[in-house]
Amino acid sequence: MRRFVVICASLVALAAPASALALHLSAGDGTLVVQNGTAPAKVPVVALTINGAAIGHVEHGRIVIDDWTPNNNVDATVTGYDSRKDGPTDTSQTWGGTDFSFRAAGGKYTILIYGSKVDVVAVGRGTVTLAGTPDTTVGDGKYSLNGDAFHSLPGTPTAKLTIGANG
């Protein structure tokens, strides 16, 4: 129960910057919310390319952030991770561990998130592929795209979904 309270408090803290960003939405910007996502080890729960901002929390897993705008003086931030390495590309880094948070804002990013209990909020324009756990009888997370109702994460990766207008 204590861990649940800490996670909820962390998500509330992460939601504040997202709310501030929402006040500055440009025409055509959209949103993505993923709650409690889990997928098999080699399948990303979230494969996101966004021109905007994304924040989130991963209970257990790894994240790869590729910054398409590395010279814009705004870096992605990951806190609470256990390991970090450069790559797999010249402009990307990989972090892994248990109970870590991330923020990527003010640029264009490709973000791959693998693991369990993944929570993400993204604002801007882009595309996303989402996946959950195949053949589960217990919910493995849900998502909302562009303010629509929440849906269960699919057992197989979706086709690319558009965030905002003209992804």
pLDDT given for residue 4 in this prediction: 45
Residue 95 bridge partners (DSSP)? 63, 84
Asked if 153 contacts 143 with a C-beta cutoff of 8 angstroms, the reply is yes
Per-residue pLDDT at 101 exceeds 90: yes
How far apart (Å, rounded) are the C-alpha atoms in residues 82 and 30? 32
pLDDT band of residue 14 (cuts 50, 70, 90) is: very low
- On the question of pLDDT at 10 being above 80, the answer is no
Entry pTM: 0.81
Average pLDDT, stretch 16-44? 75
Q: Please, what's the b/e burial string for 39-73 (b: 16 or more CB within 10 A of its CB; e: otherwise)? A: beeeebbbbbbbbbbbbbbbbebbbbbbbeeeeee
Is residue 7 within a helix (H) or strand (E), and if so which, with residue range? helix 2-22
Q: Predicted confidence band at 21 (pLDDT cuts at 50, 70, 90)?
A: very low
CA 4 vs CA 49, 87, 99: distances in Å: 29, 32, 12
Q: What percent of the chain clears pLDDT 90, i.e. is strictly above it? A: 63
Q: How confident is the model at residue 134 (pLDDT cuts 50, 70, 90)?
A: confident
pLDDT at 73: 65
pLDDT of residue 104: 94
pLDDT at 41: 85
d(CA 111, CA 78): 12
Query: Where residue 136 falls among pLDDT bands split at 50, 70, 90?
Result: low
The pLDDT tens digits for 72-95 are 666 789 999 999 999 888 888 999
Mean pLDDT on 100-107: 93
Mean per-residue pLDDT, 37-56: 94
Q: Which residues pair with 57 in a beta bridge?
A: 101, 119
